[in-house]
Amino acid sequence: MRIYGKKRALAKLNDFRRSGRFPHALLFLGAKGIGKHVIADHTAMMYMCESGGDVPCMRCNGCRRVAEHIHPDVVYPVPVIEEIFRKPSNSKSMVELVRDFIASCYIRPNDGDVRVIVFEKLDELSVQIQNTLLKFIEEPLDFNRYIFIAENRTPILQTVLSRVTAVDVDPADEADFSEAMAENGIDAARAHELFEMFAGNIGAAAEFDKNGDELIYLKGALAICDAIADGKEFECLQAFMTLKTRDDIFAALGIITDIFAQAAALKSGVSASGAYKKQSGHLSSSHSLAAITRLHDEAVRLYGMSFTNPNVKLFAAECCGSLFNAAEK
């Protein structure tokens, strides 16, 4: 397993190891597709590698089992708990299931000295579940280590944040990005185009390249944001008209909302990590913070309406008109 990009996160992990103070709870933050799970696997290997070196050898039994997600002492509770929770026969609440899981972690690990618990989607867990987890990480057992994964910091409780060491996972630079694309069979010219589009987000670019034609909503969303940044209402309308179903409009508005939020962050001097950097950068240089904020609020309102609106074409036209209104007011 070769890791492309993510140099700052890897350097931090190596610093922790070298200083002999490896945090017992880490939180990897970054956009979807950026490679948080790759870094989480790498970290789990740092614990489980049997070669005894400073970096995981990626060849021993421990490393291989981590890579295949079959190591008995590396557990991924969230997807498992969600699956149990979804079964209609299960009368337990999500919180009870999380408590059951925590209780199971008081038993010593199977194979070695440590158990690694990889908690995905920390930012999507309810306040109640986060509070349940808090007790768990506040009183750590010497054989448990925690790796949390989240896209956004905001929904995470301050009390939880104060107990974990957060590490931002950055997009790849163009050299690393191109190598990763080459490994996916993508040529240099296309890789450059994808780099511009996804600002070094390898996962998002690879998915787009594979399913691009199906991702009409993504293409539409990017074209809409470009047209708004350029003040071209007709192009914006054309882009909206490529969205043929309610689901497409819904998904596109979700992305557009993200891009507006990123543009507002950029405008306030916060560098946004993640995909769509081209569009958010474009908007932040063409529009004022007030206009971007109005655009964002309008996109959120339309996003909420997209569930209920019966006529897709009319609604698409309305979206275009009201976003332009918001931008120009």
- Residues contributing to the site for Zn ion (CB under 5 A): 49, 51, 56-57, 60, 63
| Sheet of strand 144-150, all strands in order from the earlier edge strand to the far edge | 74-75, 115-119, 144-150, 25-29, 165-168
- Closest to 9 in 3D by CA, of 152, 131, 166: 166
Report in angstroms how near the CB of residue 151 gets to Zn ion at its nearest.
29
Closer residue to Zn ion (CB): 109 or 321: 109
Closer residue to Zn ion (CB): 73 or 209: 73
Residue with tokens 């070769």: 2
What is the C-alpha separation between 48 and 66, in angstroms, rounded? 8
What is the C-alpha separation between 37 and 151, in angstroms, rounded? 11
Report in angstroms how near the CB of residue 74 gets to Zn ion at its nearest.
13
Report in angstroms how near the CB of residue 75 gets to Zn ion at its nearest.
19
Would you say 130 and 160 are in contact if contact means Cβ atoms under 8 Å apart?
A: yes
Q: Which residues pair with 166 in a beta bridge?
A: 27
Report in angstroms how near the CB of residue 114 gets to Zn ion at its nearest.
14
Closer residue to Zn ion (CB): 1 or 95: 1
The H-assigned helical ranges of the chain are 7-19, 36-48, 61-67, 77-86, 94-104, 127-138, 158-161, 174-183, 188-198, 202-211, 216-230, 233-241, 246-267, 277-286, 289-305, 312-328
Report in angstroms how near the CB of residue 60 gets to Zn ion at its nearest.
3
**Burial of residue 283, with CB atoms counted within 10 A of its CB: 0-12 exposed, 13-18 middle, 19 or more buried:** buried
Report in angstroms how near the CB of residue 58 gets to Zn ion at its nearest.
6
Closer residue to Zn ion (CB): 65 or 294: 65
Closer residue to Zn ion (CB): 63 or 256: 63
What is the C-alpha separation between 57 and 111, in angstroms, rounded? 19
Three-state secondary-structure class, residue 117 = strand
Closer residue to Zn ion (CB): 63 or 323: 63
* Ramachandran angles phi, psi of 286, nearest 5°: -95, -20
* Ramachandran angles phi, psi of 209, nearest 5°: -65, -35
Report in angstroms how near the CB of residue 6 gets to Zn ion at its nearest.
19
- Closest to 202 in 3D by CA, of 168, 173, 167, 223: 173
Q: 195: which 2 tokens?
A: 């780099």
Closer residue to Zn ion (CB): 69 or 153: 69
Closer residue to Zn ion (CB): 49 or 251: 49
Closer residue to Zn ion (CB): 63 or 249: 63
Report in angstroms how near the CB of residue 190 gets to Zn ion at its nearest.
34
Report in angstroms how near the CB of residue 17 gets to Zn ion at its nearest.
14
The residue type at 80: V
